[in-house]
């Protein structure tokens, strides 16, 4: 039986250069979609999937992320005194309160694989989830919950995948598939950012992972890959002979909020789902 997953890593140490000047001071993961920061959507998705311990891998200068998850005592008293109950609820009873949130630093942005490696002491020898908050998912049940259901059947490593246009394979980790039932694909190989002519398929890994701790053995070697970065995909590829690897197509929509177009689309799509805004 697949071992339960109760911990999640949120790699949030990137520089967010595509969103300058907004991200000169504000961490990219604090950008709001409608009225909620990206990081909060990701934490809520993780909680829905049964994650209890959240580990954020952050960078110097991104303290706003930590502040966001601390109680805002003065603001709460102010809202209470003014009788602003709805506003108060957004930061109190409706605010996500997982069992724990820890923060650890990635001093240098050496790549996603390195960011995940920075959280190794919090994970120990357990399977864990990784959520990239800039991939915002609109799905019921949530993306990670759908993946957990698949994981309980398959075990091993499970990632969320999406079919991308041939010309976009060079932006993603791409699966080399041996079996595919249209929703769940089993991979025999993985390639990080292949050019369209070298891509073994168009099934691209998006920002959600359920991983076995063996991946740290490979990340420990700190091998650099595409773009001179320590790539998570390369470490996963190295475990393929020993650990089953499945990609799950998610029932729902993904917004790449690391790109301006995805961010704008997400704001419109999430506003359209809101009873207080959809008419407008
Ligand atoms: P991106 O590739 O989107 O990089 O990282 P970025 O730096 O955040 O943004 P741009 O490209 O400069 O605009 C994908 C995810 O991996 C994290 C990022 O924080 C983001 O959530 N990441 C990336 C790290 O935590 N550390 C790294 O070294 C690289």
13 within ligand 1 shell (Cβ under 6 A): yes
- Quick one: pLDDT at residue 112? 95
Cα separation, 195 vs 198, in Å, equals 5
Contact 12, 62 (CB under 8 A): yes
Ligand 1 mutation target, pool 9, 31, 64, 112, most atoms within 8 A of CB: 112
11 within ligand 1 shell (Cβ under 6 A): yes
* Ranges of each domain in the chain: 7-272
Mean pLDDT calculated for residue range 211-227: 92
Distance 232 CA to ligand 1 centre (A): 12
**pTM for the model:** 0.96
Cα separation, 62 vs 205, in Å, equals 26
Residue among 244, 192, 238 nearest 217 (CA) = 238
7-272 classified as CATH 3.90.550.10: yes
227 pLDDT band, cuts 50/70/90, is: confident
Query: What are 70-118's pLDDT values in tens digits?
Result: 999 999 999 999 999 999 999 999 999 999 999 999 999 999 999 999 9
Does pLDDT of 209 surpass 90? yes
Distance 82 CA to ligand 1 centre (A): 40
222 pLDDT band, cuts 50/70/90, is: confident
- What's the chain's average pLDDT? 96
Indicate which residue's Cα is closest to atom 3 of ligand 1. 258
Does pLDDT of 1 surpass 80? no
Query: What are 17-37's pLDDT values in tens digits?
Result: 999 999 999 999 999 999 999
């Amino acid at each position: 039986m697949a071992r339960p997953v109760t911990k999640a890593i949120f790699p949030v140490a990137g520089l967010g250069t595509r969103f300058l000047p907004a991200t000169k001071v504000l961490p990219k993961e604090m950008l709001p979609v409608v009225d909620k920061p990206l990081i909060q959507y990701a934490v809520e998705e993780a909680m829905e999937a049964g994650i209890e311990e959240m580990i954020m891998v952050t960078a110097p200068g991104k303290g706003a992320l930590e502040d966001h998850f601390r109680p805002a005592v003065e603001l709460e008293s102010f809202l209470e005194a003014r009788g602003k109950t709805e506003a108060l609820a957004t930061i109190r009873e409706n605010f996500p309160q997982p069992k724990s949130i820890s923060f650890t630093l990635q001093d240098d942005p050496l790549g996603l694989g390195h960011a995940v490696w920075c959280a190794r002491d919090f994970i120990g020898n357990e399977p864990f989830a990784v959520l990239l908050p800039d991939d915002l998912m609109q799905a019921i049940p949530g993306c990670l919950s759908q993946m957990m259901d698949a994981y309980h059947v398959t075990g091993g490593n499970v990632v969320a995948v999406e079919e991308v246009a041939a010309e976009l394979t060079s932006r993603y980790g791409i699966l080399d598939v041996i079996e595919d039932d249209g929703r769940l694909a089993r991979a025999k190989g993985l390639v990080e950012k292949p050019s369209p002519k070298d891509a073994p398929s168009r099934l691209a890994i998006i920002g959600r992972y359920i991983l076995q701790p063996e991946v740290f053995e490979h990340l420990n070697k700190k091998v650099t890959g595409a773009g001179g970065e320590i790539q998570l995909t390369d470490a996963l590829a190295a475990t393929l002979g020993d650990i089953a690897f499945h990609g799950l197509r998610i029932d729902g929509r993904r917004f790449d909020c690391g790109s301006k177009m995805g961010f704008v689309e997400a704001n419109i799509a999430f506003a359209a789902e809101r009873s207080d805004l959809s008419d407008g």
